[in-house]
Each structure stands twice: as structure tokens, then as C-alpha cells.
A and B are shown apart, each in its own frame.
Chain A
Amino acid sequence: MTTQPTTATPELSAPRTDDLAKVFITERPPRPSAWSASVTFGWRALLKIKHVPEQLFDVTLFPIMMTLMFTYLFGGALAGSPTDYLQFFLPGILVVSIVMITMYTGLSVNTDIEKGVFDRFRTLPIWRPAPMVGYLLGDGFRYAIASTVIVVMGLILGYRPQGGPTGVLAGVAVLLVFCFALSWIWTMFGLLLRSDKSVMGVSMMVIMPLTFLSSAYVDPSTMPNWLEALVAVNPITFAVDSVRSLMSGEWPGTDLVWLSVLSAALIAIFGPVTMRLYNRK
């Protein structure tokens, strides 16, 4: 009960309690399937975007900034020219940007969960993970916007993917699946940590080294051996290499296999942990 503006409130009609009998139809439809409940929660996330469109800044301006900044900062030094660097770098910055945006999932879970509406969701006879999966589906929409922005930005700057539209779409699709899996880490932090600030702090601490110590910015073969070994087992490297191969028209092979195994493992580990925390709240 924080805001009670009196000016915008028209006189409401009194409740028509006599009519209650009419709406009290006890016949209930069968409970929704797990998928249908999750999609409904995804729809809730989209409604929130509709009502607070400002939250799209992080999927529009932020990726543009990242792409421009690193292309021109590293381009000349690393590949002779920004355009040459972009052919290597665009799939990398695409993965890095989207992975960074996944952090916001934890943040919105954290701020949302304290509100009364979650108590209602928890008393509904629905598939329990549906509210969480709904978040991730809604976020999938945001990631799709960010991916489009980055690819279009890249094309304008001179990126010419060898894989053509099919390769680009396949790359984005693989990335979205990986992000869905990765997001379960953030939903866990969103439920585990007390404030949105600590969620942000912990997420940054995980994300910064993961994204920089990957094959996104530079070719790992130029790194010292120990670092190259480290980068080779970084999940982000598998994601970057898979997306890069697909976009340049090659089949990612083992990278994609590893990425799938990793994604499945992330869901298998952090999904149940998230749900345990969610049920305990």
C-alpha cells in the first residue's frame, strides 16, 4: 500500500454480492499442462515489458555499446582493422553480451519474490517450476531482441557471416538454449541472496572472468599455455566456438556436443537447487 493517488481514482461501483452466485460456478477446467503454465508465466513477463518498456535498454543500448566499443578498441591492434576483427569478434561479443544480460534474471527474481503475488503463485495447483521457467521464457524474448540488435549492428559495421541467414539463426538459437540453461544459476542466486545488490555483485564476479577468459575476444592460441588450458574448459568458450562455427558456415561438432552436455548439466544441477529454494521461501 505505498501509493494511493486520490486524483486518478474514479468513484467505484459497490460490489454486487448478489451476483456472486452467478460467478460461483464450481465446474473447473482440467489443470494446465506444465508447458502451458510456463508459457502463461512467460506471457506475464512480456506484459511487464509492455508496462515498463524502459527495461529494454539493457537489451538494446547495452549491446550496441559493447559491440562498438570493443570493435574499435581492439580491432586495429588485433586484426589490422576493425572490419577484419569484426569477422572474428562478432559471434564472440554476441555471446558475451547475451550472457551478461542473463544476469538480470536473478535480479528480477530477487525483487519479485518478496512481493505477495508469489505467495499466490505458490498456492496454485500448477507445475511448481512454472513461474521460474516463465521468467526464462520471457527473458528468451529479451535475448532475441538483443541478438537481433547485435547482428544488425555487425552487418552495418561490415560483418559478413559465411554461414548466411541460416548459419546466423542457428548460432542465435544455440546461444538462446545455452542462456536458458545458464539462467538457472541466476535464479538460484536470486532466491539465495538477500538483496538485489548482492545478486548483482555475485553475478558480476562470476561473469566477468568467465566472459573475458574465453575465446570471445582473442584467439586462445595466442595465450600462455596455462591460460589457454583454462580458457579451453570455460563453458563460454564452448558457446563462443559453437556460435562462431555456425555463423561462419561450419559445423561446430565436438564444441556443440560439449555445450549440450554442459547445458544439460547446468539445468540438472541448478534447476533442482532453484526449486528447493523456491519451495522453502
Chain B
Amino acid sequence: MTEAAIEVRGLVKRFGENVAVDGIDLTVPAGTVYGVLGPNGAGKTTTVKMLATLLKPDEGDARVLGRDVVSEADEVRSLVSMTGQYASVDEDLTGTENLVLLARLLGYSKKAAAARSDLFLETLGLTAAAHRQVKNYSGGMRRRLDIAASLLSVPKLLFLDEPTTGLDPRSRNQVWEIVRAIVDQGTTVLLTTQYLDEADQLASRIAVIDEGRVIAEGTKGDLKSSIGSGSVHVRLRDPARREDAARLLAETLGADVQRDADPVALTARLRQDATANAADAAVTELAAHQTGVALGELARAGIIVDSFSMGQPSLDEVFLALTNHPAIPEEVA
């Protein structure tokens, strides 16, 4: 798996005055999930649309599975599938009709198309809703049908544009499970998301995009060590002991400790330079262990902790760390 599934150099797309994609470079290794992380309006969808041959780039070049997305668009189309941000299925038709329609368009005979549609509906747990119009589907069902529609052709590369935006946690977990199973079958997945934990759960490499540019790229380990693996929030009983507590936390965690606006609150940003290449689980474990030790130290010093929490850096924190400006969600159609 040395060959890159996607190679993008200096991709630019303008819509009038607005530069949606401003010189993006990407290299996506084959057979993996590659996460493209960024807020709304960062240029994720525009990038994916160019790679899926829906939009023509203004500058730069992009090769998908070795084919140029402009001059060899037709070949690209026969190898990739895309599940857009807005369900790419026909709302007026039933689940079965949608899949049979697409299977027919892929060249399957009537009989084979029907059989294939049944098989995919069953695999994705949609058999019960097969004969209902998609407009009556829940968000999670729609997503699943959408993914089924993308998988009918058994693509070598699948674009998933914000596959879990707007889904409840259970449906989200199911989508994640499906994505993992797809990659197990050897399909490369390019996933765009606004959620760090989603990229963390699924992707092996991540590119962070903001204002049409890649502002950070690497393995999860790389990214985390650049922004800290997470933070520990502590609330103390006695504001007078804050300085002592800050010193203790800094010592035991080896972290920068930030004095919050609240006089009893402290935030320690965990670093993990030493463990950047360790497996993910080991990193989390180590952080948890260190935090336990730190809390013990606080107790031993007689500092009462009212509450504490540990968390991964949020997308906002990542953005703050990378760009010095917060990720402001804005509605961009």
C-alpha cells in the first residue's frame, strides 16, 4: 500500500470573489481512512467535490487513483463514489427503488439489480424500510441508504462528506462501524468532518483545513503532540491554594497550567512529545495515569478538589492552538 490514492497539488477553487479552496496539497495513502477536519466553510466540501469530478478546479492538479480528475474524469467516476453532506438519494422513491435505479445505472440487469439492492438493504439493516419513501426515513436511515448507494459500485475510493452531521449518537456509532467495515474491505475512505473525535475514531491521518488551506497534517499522534493530547480541568475549594495547586500540577503532569478567569479553576494542557508515536490507547492510558497521580499529589498537599474533568482537545482548542483564532461555525450552504 505504498501508492497514494489521492495526490493533490496546489488546488484552488474560486467562486467569484470568494476563494473557497486556496492552494491545498494532500497525499492520501491507499487503504486507509483519511480525515479532513475543519469548520463549516473551511473548503472541505468544495475540495471533495473537485476530487469527485463535480467541480472543476481553477488551479492546481489532482490525481485520484492515478487518474487526473479533469482530463480523465470518466475513469475517476468509475472508481469512486461520493456520499454528500445532503443525502444523495431520491426522497420521492423508496429505499429499494433508489438502489435498483443506481444498480441499473451501473449496468446490472433488472434481476441482478433487484438482488443487489436487497442484499445491501439487508446488510445495512434497512430491510424493514425497503418499501417506504425515503422522505419518511429518519436521518440515520437516510445516511445508511446513502452509504449503501455509494457502495453498490464497490468503489476503490469513497468520499464521505460529513457523514454523521446531524445524527444521534447511536446512528453515529453505526455509521462509524460501517466505515470501519468498508476500509477492512480495502476501500480507501476520504472523510470530512467537523468533529475531532470522529476523525480520531476513524482516521489514521488527518489534515486540518481552515479558510481553504491545510494548516496541519499528519498522523493522529503528530497532531496531538502539536496541540497536546487533552486537558485536565480542576476546580478547587479554596482560591487561596490555587498557586500551590498550579505548581503541583505542572510538576506531576509536565504540562502548561493555565489560570482560568474563574479564581478556583485551573486547566492543564497535557503534552506528550515523548509518546507521540505510541499507539493511541497507550497515550490515553498514560494521560489518565498521570492525572491520577496528580490528583493524589493535590490530596496529599491538603488541597481540596471540588471537581475535575479530563477531555480531548476540542476542535475549538485545536483551532486556537493552530491558528490563534477560534473555529466559528458559520452557516455556509
Contact = CB atoms under 8 A, between A and B. Distances in A.
Interface of A: 1-6, 8-10, 12-26, 28-32, 36-37, 40, 43-44, 47-48, 51-52, 115-117, 119-126, 130
20 contacts: A9-B137, A10-B129, A15-B174, A15-B177, A16-B123, A17-B123, A20-B181, A20-B182, A22-B119, A23-B151, A28-B154, A29-B106, A29-B108, A31-B78, A37-B105, A119-B84, A120-B88, A121-B105, A124-B106, A125-B78
Contact of A28 (B77, B92, B153): B153
Given A24-B154, A24-B185, A123 B107 contact: no
A84 B220 CA distance: 84
Contacts of A115: 86, 90-91
Contacts of B140: 12
Interface in B116-156: 116, 119-120, 122-129, 132-133, 135-142, 144, 149-151, 153-154
Contact of B139 (A1, A16, A123): A1
Given A28-B107, A31-B107, A51 B92 contact: yes
A123 B82 contact: yes
B109 interface: yes
B90 A44 contact: yes
Given A25-B154, A40-B105, A47 B93 contact: yes
Interface of B: 49, 52-54, 74, 77-78, 80-82, 84-93, 97, 101-102, 104-109, 112, 116, 119-120, 122-129, 132-133, 135-142, 144, 149-151, 153-154, 166, 174, 177-178, 180-182, 184-185
B107 A17 contact: no
A10 B138 CA distance: 10
B149 A120 contact: yes
Contacts of B144: 15
Contacts of A15: 123-125, 144, 174, 177-178
A20 B91 contact: no
Residue with the highest number of chain B CB atoms closer than 10 Å, among A5, A40, A123: A123
Given A12-B126, A15-B174, A125-B77, A120 B141 contact: no
A11 to B, nearest CB: 8
Given A48-B93, A115-B86, 12 more contacts: A8-B136, A10-B129, A16-B123, A17-B178, A20-B178, A21-B184, A24-B151, A43-B101, A44-B93, A51-B133, A119-B84, A120-B102
Nearest to A126: B105
Contacts of A3: 135-136
Contacts of B87: 1, 116
